[in-house]
């Protein structure tokens, strides 16, 4: 039996309703993994800093990321506890953490 993640679209419709309606929205996603969620909302926001502590997951995310989203998403290998962000880049409108421990 294969795993089907949100085939009805409930997760993304709830997330879309939650996101503020602003074209310049900046998102920090903690624990992005393979980008399953990132790919689904990145077209709705201006910039995403997506972090994960697993290089393997980030490599998969890079390989499956649509080219039109590449300019919006920065992928970074880092646990949240040691994440370093330049002062000029530290303003986020939304912080997401889904399925991450």
Render pLDDT for 5-38 as a digit per residue (tens, 0 to 9).
677 777 778 877 877 777 799 999 999 999 989 9
Closest alpha carbon to 95 in 20, 38, 37, 27: 27
Q: Write out the residue range of the structural domain in which residue 89 sits.
A: 22-97
Integer Cα distance of 16 and 40 in angstroms: 10
Predicted structure pTM score: 0.84
Domain membership flag for residue 13: no
CATH assignment at residue 79: 3.40.50.150
Beta strands (DSSP E) in the chain are: 26-30, 47-52, 73-77, 94-97
Per-residue pLDDT tens digits for 37-88? 999 899 889 999 999 999 999 999 999 999 999 899 999 999 989 988 888 7
């Amino acid at each position: 039996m294969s795993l089907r993640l949100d085939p009805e679209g409930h997760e993304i419709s709830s997330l879309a309703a939650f996101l503020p309606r602003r074209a310049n929205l900046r998102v920090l996603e903690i624990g992005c993994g393979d980008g399953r969620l990132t790919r689904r909302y990145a077209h709705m926001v201006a910039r995403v800093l997506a972090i994960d502590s697993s290089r393997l997951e980030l490599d998969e995310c890079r390989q499956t990321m649509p080219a039109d989203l590449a300019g919006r998403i920065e992928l970074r290998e880092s646990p949240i506890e040691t994440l370093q962000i330049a002062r000029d880049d530290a303003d986020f409108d939304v912080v997401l953490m889904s399925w991450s421990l």
